[in-house]
Structure 1
């Protein structure tokens, strides 16, 4: 069974690297069925972790605003455009 606490402690880079390794194993086709199911479940948890970390990062990104003189004047939240 997938240890969600373990997945939730991973950085984006580590979660993505592990997810890529799982995909490569599953695409190779040499993994027994039971292990494939376990790997798939772990992959789903890793994907959810990566998605959550990306959404958090997007929420923190700010857009630099420029004053009338063309110089940076402050920031505002990214509007998703």
Structure 2
């Protein structure tokens, strides 16, 4: 299982892909593992209260778990691809 990071999140992490180490069984646990390994992401991804920022999109295998799944409680399996997207804008 690995995280794919986009835009400024990849810049802050210093890489576009981060493998998930450990026994993460939910998206939330995998996110905790990512933030523990790449603490520079925490302020961009979480609020001061430790909640996921409203504008961050979290995908599991291409599906936004915050919209079409169980949010951070979404179950994960080995081989899953997780992704974090900041807000997308453009013209």
Q: TM-score, normalised by structure 2?
A: 0.22
Bigger proportion of residues as strand: 2
Larger Rg: 1
**Higher RCO by CA contacts (8 Å cutoff, separation 6 or greater):** 2
Bigger proportion of residues as helix: 1
Q: TM-score, normalised by structure 1?
A: 0.23
